[in-house]
Structure 1
């Protein structure tokens, strides 16, 4: 369904681009390199299974959960109207 000046499928393209951007952001934030044996936040041991599962991990599960809960979601305004920019 096209609306106004948009072409058919434009809304789905916006959704696909938003999902693609979120995946790229998440992949870019994944740890890389050698895993630490001790958590950089609290100093507790990082279990070997976690170090093998997530290469480059630097935090224990509890500290990582805390980090993830504090992370703000940054979105992109893909709509051209001023109303969407004011929200």
Structure 2
């Protein structure tokens, strides 16, 4: 596995639009949630909808992820953290 920790940011929706979008260097194929926080509920219900077959609607998931930050009295300056992981033995991604 090859991890890549990306610079911290502030735009949850922007990261989600990127992750559920076409990508910049490599095509994002079959984007989906693979984990969530304790008590989040069913992952399938949080999965961004794709009604057009082209663009995913990440608004609901973005709102859910931003709630703790908005409720905080002193949120950190950069709340978005992204680590991509690549398995060089699998061309199509971690789960094949």
Report the TM-score range of the alignment, normalised by the length of the smaller protein.
under 0.3
In our comparison, the structure showing a higher alpha carbon Rg is: 1
User: What TM-score does the superposition give when structure 2 sets the normalisation length?
Assistant: 0.25
Higher RCO (C-alpha 8 Å, min separation 6): 2
More strand by share: 2
Using the size of structure 1 for normalisation, the TM-score is 0.27
User: Which is richer in helix?
Assistant: 1
